[in-house]
Structure 1
Amino acid sequence: MTQAPRRGYVATRFGQLHYAECGTGEPVLLLHQTPRSWTEYLDVLPLVGTARRAIAMDTLGFGASAKPAGPHSVERYADAAGALVDALGLDRYHLVGHHTGGVIAVELAARHPDRVASLLLSATPFVDAEKRRAAVRVDHVVPRPDGSHLLDLWNHRRGFYRDGEEAALHRYLVDALTVLDRVTEGHEAVRRYAMAERLPLVRARTLAVCAPGDHHALPSLPKLAAALGCPTRLLSGGHVPVPEQLPGEFAELVLDWVGRG
C-alpha cells in the first residue's frame, strides 16, 4: 500500500512555501509545470517515496505557496526553491522538473553544481529565439459574469487528456483558478529566461525525457540534449500531463535515473 503524502510549510523571505513529501532516504525534489501545484505529482510522489525521500513543492506564486507581488521570473522561482531546500536541510539532492519545473531545475543545477546529484528534465522547453517568439496563451481566459470562462479554461487543456482522466483535469482547473489573474505568467517567465547562458554551468548527470504526444515540448528535446550533452528518453505515451497519465512509468524512470549514481 502506498503512503499518503505528508504536508508542510517552511518560512522564507518570500513567505511560506508549501510542500508535500513521502518516504525517507536520499531526497528527490520534484518541480511542477505552471500553472499547476504539487498535485501534478499526486500519484508519482508515493511511488518515488517507496525508495527515496520524495518532495514536491508548490512553486512560488502557485498552489498553496506564497504569492508575492512583482514580476515572475525563473530566477525568483529558483531563489524560492533554494530557500525551501535550505530550510529542509537538504545538503545534496536529486532534481526532477516538468515543463516550467524543468527550467527552474536547470537554474538550480547551474547555481549549485556541488549540491544537485542528478537532474531529470521532463518536457523541458529549450529557450531560444524561436521559443521567445512563440507566445503561449493556452491558459489565458477573460473572466465573464456568467462564469463561461471556466468552461473555456477546461476546454483549453481538454485535448491533453484522454477520456477517463477528468480527475486530473479537475486538479488542473483548481490550480489555474487559484492564480487566474496571473495564470500565464509562468510561461512568460520561461520565455524571458537566459537559458543559453546557464546550460554550460550544469554539471549534474542529466536525462531529458518527453511524452510522444506533447507537441509543445517534443521539438525541444533534441535541442536540450545537444546543449547539455545528455541522453534522451521517450515515454510510452502521454501528453503534457504525463506525470498524471503515466505515474508508474514516470516514477520508475525517476528511481532508475536517481539510482544510477
Structure 2
Amino acid sequence: MTTTTPAAFARTVRGAGPGLLLAHGAGGGIEANYGPIMEELAAQHTVVGVDYPGSGATPNAQGPLEIDELVEQLVAAADAEGLDTFAVSGYSLGGPVAIRLASRHPGRVSSLVLSATFAYADTRTSLAASIWHQLFESGQHAVLAQYLNLMALSEPVLNSLTPAQVHTAAEQLAPAIPVGTGDQVDLVRRADVRGDLAAIAVPTLIVVTTGDPLISPSLQRELAAAIPTAEVAELPTGHLPFAERPQEWVKLIGDFLARNRKH
C-alpha cells in the first residue's frame, strides 16, 4: 500500500449542481483527460476529481497503487465537497475505479459513465501496458511518446499526420508524461473488477471507442455485456475521445446524465 495520505491527493472542483466524480486514466490526469470537456460538465454539475499519485500536483506513491485506495480518495474528495450522492465518470483506468466505487458505495452512486475502459486487462492490453511500463521505467520517454501515439490515436487520425508531425507530437508529449506513469500502468495490468459487475444496479453508459488500438472494442463490449443495467454508445475515435471527438463525447455523457438525474 502507498503511504500517501488523503490530503495529499490534488483535487479539482468545478461548477455547481448534482455531483459528478471523475476518475482519470493511467499516465493522464483530471486536466489531461477531462480538461477539454470540463467547462460543459461543470455547467450542469459539481465536478470533483482527484489526480492519482504522480499525476498533476499529487506526490508520487511510495508503493504499488491499489484500486481500493483510489476509490477511497475519490470518495473522500466527494465528502469534503459535501456530496452525498453523485454520478461517476471513469475513463480508461478510471473505469475499474468507478466500477469498484459503485460496488463499495452503492447507495451513493446515481449513475455510471464508463469510456474506453475495461474490467480486466486481457492478454493484448496487458502486453501493451507492459511495453508502456518498460519504456517508461527505462527512461526512453521519446520512444514511449511515439508508442503512445501509435497505441492511442485512431488509424484515420494517425494517418492524417505526416511522419514529421508525429515526430514533433512525440517530442512535445515526452516531457509531459507524468512521473507516476509507471505505477499507474502497473495497476492497469493488475486491475480486475469482474467480480463487481453483476451487482451494479444503477444506470450505466458504456462509451465504446470503436477505433481504439489500446483497449480493444471487443474488451469494452465484454464489459458492457456483464453489467445488467448497461447501455452502449459507440464513438468512432481512438483511445483519446477528449482529443479526437470531445464535443461528441461530452454530449453522450451530458445527455445520459440528464436522462438519469434523480430529482
Q: What TM-score results when the alignment is normalised by the length of structure 2?
A: 0.81
How many Å separate the matches in 1 of 2:169 and 2:78?
27
Contact 2:40–2:250 (CA<8 Å) still a contact in 1? yes
Shift of residue 259, structure 1, vs aligned partner: 0.8
Contact 2:119–2:191 (CA<8 Å) still a contact in 1? no
2:12 matched residue in structure 1: 20
Determine helix, strand or coil for the equivalent of 2:49.
strand
How many Å separate the matches in 1 of 2:6 and 2:248?
34
| Percent of paired sites with the same residue | 25
Shift of residue 84, structure 1, vs aligned partner: 1.4
Partner amino acid, structure 1, of 2:210: P
Determine helix, strand or coil for the equivalent of 2:111.
strand
Q: Deviations over 1:42-66 (max 9, x none)?
A: 1110011222222332124422123
Q: Deviations over 1:125-181 (max 9, x none)?
A: 13166578646223532678xx8x3321221112334448999978854552x31xx
Q: Would the alpha carbon gap of residues 158 and 16 (structure 1) be closer, same or farther in structure 2, given more than 3 Å must change? A: same
Partner amino acid, structure 2, of 1:44: I
Structure 1 gaps, min length 5: 1-11
Which structure shows the bigger proportion of residues in helix conformation? 2
How many Å separate the matches in 2 of 1:247 and 1:166?
24
Q: Would the alpha carbon gap of residues 23 and 225 (structure 1) be closer, same or farther in structure 2, given more than 3 Å must change? A: same
2:231 matched residue in structure 1: 231
How many Å separate the matches in 2 of 1:167 and 1:80?
36
Q: Would the alpha carbon gap of residues 101 and 238 (structure 1) be closer, same or farther in structure 2, given more than 3 Å must change? A: same
Q: Deviations over 1:221-252 (max 9, x none)?
A: 221111102111111x2211112222111111
Mapping of residues 1-261 of structure 1, within 5 Å: 13-39=5-31, 40-127=33-120, 130=123, 134=127, 136=129, 137-141=131-135, 149-159=140-150, 160-161=152-153, 162=157, 163=161, 173-176=174-177, 178-179=178-179, 182-217=180-215, 218-229=217-228, 230-235=230-235, 237-261=236-260
Partner amino acid, structure 1, of 2:200: V
Structure 2 gaps, min length 5: none
How many Å separate the matches in 1 of 2:117 and 2:201?
17
Contact 1:73–1:186 (CA<8 Å) still a contact in 2? no
Quote the RMSD (CA, aligned, Å).
2.8
Number of residue pairs the alignment of both structures matches: 243
Shift of residue 27, structure 1, vs aligned partner: 1.6
Bigger CA drift: 112-121 or 195-204? 195-204
Determine helix, strand or coil for the equivalent of 1:46.
helix
